[in-house]
Amino acid sequence: MIVMKFGGSSVESASAIERVAGIVKGHLGAKPVVVVSAIGKTTDRLLHIAAFAAQGDGISAWRKLLALQADHLQIAAKLKLTLDREIEDLFAELRGTVLEIASLHSISPELWDATVSFGERLSSVMVAAALQKAGVPAAHMDARKLIVTDGNHTHAAPMTVETNAKIRRAIPCVDRSLVPVLGGFIAATEDGTPTTLGRGGSDFTAAIVGAAIGADEIQIWTDVDGMLTCDPRVHEGGLCLESISYEEAEQMARLGAKVLHPETVLPARKQRIPVTIRNSRNPGHPGTTIQATARGSEGAVKSIPCDRASGTVSVVGSGVEQQAERAATALRQAGLLAAVTQTSRLAVRFQVGEGCLAQAVSALHSEFFTKRPTSVRTAGPVPQLQYSAAS
């Protein structure tokens, strides 16, 4: 069995969902379990609605709610799904939650979770129906009945024993020829109160499910070819890494590589399940494989993640502390004042300030990737970076 997780941009429109159906169809032989995020930017939109309601701006909250409902209905109509009733029922329930926020003038963590849970509740029902329409024998499953967490709302931690028991009971029960489809990110406490796993947490759901069923592979389908050497929104020209180790991937994610939720790595690593990052808009590209050992010499910089919130840029790779001086010099030569805030075997992190992030990433990228001879495979729009023993 494999787990296939599709992020928000991979299900952002009717055509994107059709593309997902095609990709799932191509993997039926591997017995997929499908995990989906909320459609497009739905989670952010739900949070705006909740914020308007809490501030007492009911008109804006209502207008945005209606727009979100219209968008979901329109996607369902384009896909010719007969789901209007289900979608309207979910929005009626959501309106109740929004009214509760409006009456309290605040968003408690419980109501935050209840509000955002509608994104994945809607998308999972719609993707399951779209898969059926495309000829995939899909069966919708409610993630809140499978993933059990503690009560730490907005950042809940899964209770592994209870969760594994529920998943192992439910998934093999699905007729072997059916493809289970569930929403990522959402879960519930033992008493059934909705919780969420932290923003971007659908990747984590995929890993939790993958570990529970002993999957052969966990696929994270997104809008880039794989883990790149830098954030494409900050610096263009990043290379796609062919493979990285679990610990490198986790470190990249923790230091700002949003393409992967950092908690995703642990469940996969414990059972040595490979995680692949793939592009749903470019499915022919092999993507990046995250596994126990990765190619590349000890001490090579693999990626340069950055984090806007803390104004930090890092160089990451196994044994990368050897490169600390070289990285500091490259930043200095670019005219940047950079203070080292962390040095470990896997990462050297510099504080440069938010305003200098792009310049810092560009300086480090040209130091470690433009200057270094690399073997490049052009399998897609982003060149694939393979490490030779000498690199």
Nearer to Mg ion, 202 or 362 (CB): 202
Q: How far is the CB of 368 from ligand ADP (least distance, A)?
A: 14
Which of ligand ASP, Mg ion, ligand ADP, none interacts with 228 (beta carbon under 5 to 8 A by kind)? Answer: ligand ADP
Nearer to ligand ADP, 258 or 345 (CB): 258
* Cβ atoms of 148 and 189 closer than 8 Å: yes
Place of tokens 């190619």: 295
- Applying CB under 5 A, the span of 67-75, 111-119, 192-200, 328-336 interacting with Mg ion comes to 192-200
What CA–CA distance (Å, rounded) separates 245 from 265? Answer: 10
**Cβ atoms within 10 Å, residue 20:** 24
Q: Establish if 222 lies at the interface with ligand ADP (CB under 6 A).
A: yes
Q: How far is the CB of 203 from Mg ion (least distance, A)?
A: 6
Q: How far is the CB of 263 from ligand ASP (least distance, A)?
A: 11
**Of all residues in this chain, which one has the CB nearest to Mg ion in the complex?**
200
Q: How far is the CB of 200 from Mg ion (least distance, A)?
A: 4
Chain contacts with ligand ASP (rule: CB under 6 A) = 7-8, 37-38, 43, 119, 184-185, 199-202
What CA–CA distance (Å, rounded) separates 388 from 186? Answer: 41
Which of Mg ion, ligand ADP, ligand ASP, none interacts with 184 (beta carbon under 5 to 8 A by kind)? Answer: ligand ASP
Give Cα separations from 150 to 156, 163, 283 (angstroms).
6, 11, 36
Q: How far is the CB of 43 from ligand ASP (least distance, A)?
A: 3
What CA–CA distance (Å, rounded) separates 253 from 270? Answer: 18
Which of ligand ADP, Mg ion, ligand ASP, none interacts with 223 (beta carbon under 5 to 8 A by kind)? Answer: ligand ADP
- According to DSSP H, which parts of the chain are helical? 14-25, 42-55, 58-78, 84-104, 109-133, 160-173, 202-213, 246-254, 265-270, 324-333, 357-365
Phi and psi for 122 in degrees, rounded to 5?
A: -70, -50
What CA–CA distance (Å, rounded) separates 104 from 76? Answer: 33
Which of Mg ion, ligand ADP, ligand ASP, none interacts with 78 (beta carbon under 5 to 8 A by kind)? Answer: none
* Cβ atoms of 319 and 308 closer than 8 Å: no
What CA–CA distance (Å, rounded) separates 117 from 113? Answer: 6
- Applying CB under 6 A, the span of 6-14, 141-149, 174-182, 316-324 interacting with ligand ADP comes to 6-14
Site pattern 3..22 for Mg ion (x: CB under 5 A): ----x---------------
Q: How far is the CB of 303 from ligand ADP (least distance, A)?
A: 5
Q: How far is the CB of 185 from ligand ASP (least distance, A)?
A: 4
Q: Which of 25, 133, 155, 258 binds ligand ADP (CB under 6 A)?
A: 258
Do the strands 375-377 and 384-386 form a parallel or antiparallel pair, or are they unpaired? Answer: antiparallel
Nearer to Mg ion, 45 or 348 (CB): 45
Give Cα separations from 35 to 70, 168, 320 (angstroms).
24, 16, 34
Q: How far is the CB of 203 from ligand ASP (least distance, A)?
A: 6
What CA–CA distance (Å, rounded) separates 331 from 73? Answer: 50
What CA–CA distance (Å, rounded) separates 155 from 258? Answer: 16
Sign of CA dihedral 311, 315, 316, 321: negative
Q: Establish if 40 lies at the interface with Mg ion (CB under 5 A).
A: no
Q: How far is the CB of 197 from ligand ADP (least distance, A)?
A: 13
Helix, strand or coil for residue 219? strand
The residues in 224-253 that bind ligand ADP, with binding defined as CB under 6 A, are 224, 227-228, 230-233
What CA–CA distance (Å, rounded) separates 281 from 234? Answer: 21
Nearer to ligand ADP, 101 or 119 (CB): 119
Q: Establish if 194 lies at the interface with ligand ADP (CB under 6 A).
A: no
Structure tokens at 211: 């570990």
- Applying CB under 6 A, the span of 68-76, 148-156, 223-231, 341-349 interacting with ligand ADP comes to 223-231
Chain residues in the site for ligand ADP (CB under 6 A):
7-10, 37, 200, 222-224, 227-228, 230-233, 257-259, 303, 305
Chain residues in the site for Mg ion (CB under 5 A):
7, 200
